Amino acid sequence: MDFLDTIIQKKLGKALSREQIEDFAAAAARASVPDYQLSALLMAIRLNGMDARETADLTMAMAHSGEMLDPDVDGVPVDKHSTGGVGDTTTLVLAPLVAACGGKVLKMSGRGLGHTGGTIDKLESIPGFMTSLPKERFVDIVRRIGCAVVGQSAELAPADKRLYALRDVTGTVDSIPLIAASILSKKFASGAHAIVLDVKYGSGAIMDTLEGSVELARTMVDIGTLAGRDVTAVLSNMEEPLGTHIGNALEVKEAIDVLSGRTKGDLLTVSMFLGAHMLTASHVCADLTTAKDRLKAALLSGAGLERLKMMISAQGGDPRVADDTSLLPQAPVITPLLAETSGYVTYMDTQALGYAAQAMGAGRRVKEDVIDPSVGFVLKVRLGDRIEKGSVLAELHARDAESARRAGDGIMKALTITDKPSERQPLIYAVVTRNGIEYKPEL
């Protein structure tokens, strides 16, 4: 097939055939077409879009561009994916909780290129924890324990790996068909039969508008329906960091604090909500009420924390961190950031808060950067809080005094403090399933 004809067809706004789309994915996986032609087609897709059938075809073609796993985990393999955010540590909370309730959480994650590390980077801050495992051992851990989290295999969805890199340098990252195909192709290839998506909206989200986030959620649910997979999308608020801890070891600590019952708040609320949908999607529980009750019982009994210990141990890590978080990497400089004025916290530039952590060494600017797992900060205020001059806004965990000072400046600029309070947006805006959209669901 002439690839130039495919580019021209999409440039003119016409739909591509399944054969053309399969040729596109194969060309990306095998590097049989130069980058400039792939980039041209990516831009044509970004400008003219794809219909539901095209997007589903692209997703499946990218999934089938490499190895397709169909693991026997003695249950329905379920996965959760977040479209990104700051302080979003839900995987480390909900995976062991869902496993403690009988779910089978089979999760392959990537490394972060942005504010802080990805889930893999966070887990690697646990001494000895291995995120690269043979496929057989990975599946065996899920079968025995109920959850495992490993790095994305190079054999899975190789077309996505090349196209993702090109999207990053061609201004086509914000294409809904390309985002949806990228996310779901990896989930389908890794063997997940039930998938719960956490689609963010707000100042720290991938989409600029709430409408864009809703469209992305609906697109991914539609692809799941066409592909015969059970996909649910939850739209959650990223107007402020989900958790209070931003940084790799710090986020592991917060997840442990949540599972131990020491900490509550938005991170726990969203984790329980997503976990309930994972249990129903994988047919462990018949309804959300039953699922929520099971999760609460696993939290209160300590079964979720115990399951986290089991996963850490099975993957070579030191399970003692779950009882003593001081065994996690510790930053040499810990200092408070004090408020310079009194008032109400009415706005947070969540993305800017993430970049403040990145500048400390908690994230990567380029893929070659080495993450410092110990650094980051603990945010002491939430939207709507009344603060007084001299009160603590954040606790900075830094390499040295200078990086702490720079991070403090960045955090100060990211917070808006005014004389009057403002109304908060709902934590969960909507749930999208194949049956439609439920707005502002009961938590």
Q: Which of 237, 208, 307, 218 is nearest to 88 (CA)?
A: 237
Would you say 147 and 94 are in contact if contact means Cβ atoms under 8 Å apart? Answer: no
Q: Which of 216, 209, 264 is nearest to 443 (CA)?
A: 264
Would you say 127 and 327 are in contact if contact means Cβ atoms under 8 Å apart? Answer: yes
Distance in angstroms (rounded) separating the CA atoms of residues 392 and 410: 15
Q: Which residues pair with 437 in a beta bridge?
A: 432
Residue position matching structure tokens 């994230």: 363
Element (H, E) at 198: strand 194-201
Q: What share of the chain is helix, strand, coil (3-state, %, to 5)?
A: 45, 15, 35
Distance in angstroms (rounded) separating the CA atoms of residues 276 and 273: 5
Three-class SS state of 238: coil
Instruction: Please identify every residue annotated as catalytic.
Output: 81, 160, 167, 182, 186
Residue position matching structure tokens 């990145």: 358
Distance in angstroms (rounded) separating the CA atoms of residues 295 and 275: 8
Q: Which amino acid belongs to residue 397?
A: H
